[in-house]
Amino acid sequence: MTATLHISQHPIVAVKLAQLREAKQNSKAVRELMRELSLLVGYEATADISVSTDNAYSSPYEQFQGAELSQRVALVPILRSGLGLVDGFLTLFPEAPVLHLGLYREKVSLQPVEYYNKLPQTPNADVCYVLDPVIATGNTAVATVNILKEWGVAGENIKFVGVLGSKAGIVQLQEEHPEIHVYVAAVDDTLDDHGYIRPGLGDSGDRLWNTAV
């Protein structure tokens, strides 16, 4: 692990993650917990965003120099489970464009397959927050960063935000893209032969959207 991996140490994050892992939670509770965790981890992930204080504002008593974002921010959820993190980030960045990327993991090779890409022709962001609840094998995360770099975003301006990662998946991402900062609530040690994190939190897409069979 490196200095670009940020594992939340906040006790409320730990409590909500434990609640999210619980298999008995229904989809409504999963969506609510995912949103709350995205807001909490997102707060930590955005601590270094640039602001300017050039503009003058007026309080009820006098003028003051107020802070404004000086970078254009875009949110990049990886379909479909990444959608569970969008609402929390839109609380932080209400005007941010949401640029959807669709990738699924092929069942045999566990390699990502891109099936949807809603990036504009020309980059419209200085900083991209990639949103995906789980970094399992790391292959999808690596592929997403490749897509954004090819689109024209510098690696140091791509932040990967999730709820849970596997140790192997994060190592894979950091070996391929060592400059990418990763923000998660926790890291689990075990990745099984099917590419699932143990103890993990299950299939986040199925749990979010009530599609488990």
What pLDDT sits at residue 106? 74
5-209: which CATH topology?
Rossmann fold (3.40.50)
In this structure, are residues 61 and 37 in contact, taking their beta carbons and an 8 Å threshold? Answer: no
Mean pLDDT along residues 181-189: 97
Task: Name residue 82's amino acid.
Answer: G
What pLDDT sits at residue 213? 62
Quote the CA–CA distance of 89 and 43 in Å, as a whole number: 9
In this structure, are residues 81 and 211 in contact, taking their beta carbons and an 8 Å threshold? Answer: no
Residue 190, H or E segment: strand 190-191
Q: What is the pLDDT of residues 42-54, one digit of tens each?
A: 999 999 999 999 8
Q: In Å, how far from its chain's centre is CA 148?
A: 14
Q: Where are the domains of the chain?
A: 5-209
80 upstream amide cis, omega within 30 of 0: yes
Q: Which residues lie below 8 Å from residue 60, measured CB to CB, with a gap of 6+?
A: none
Q: What is the pLDDT of residues 64-123, one digit of tens each?
A: 999 999 999 999 999 989 999 999 999 999 999 999 999 887 777 768 889 999 999 999
Q: What is the pLDDT of residues 122-180, one digit of tens each?
A: 999 999 999 999 999 999 999 999 999 999 999 999 999 999 999 999 999 999 999 99
Q: What is the pLDDT of residues 110-129, one digit of tens each?
A: 688 899 999 999 999 999 99
Residue 181, H or E segment: strand 181-184
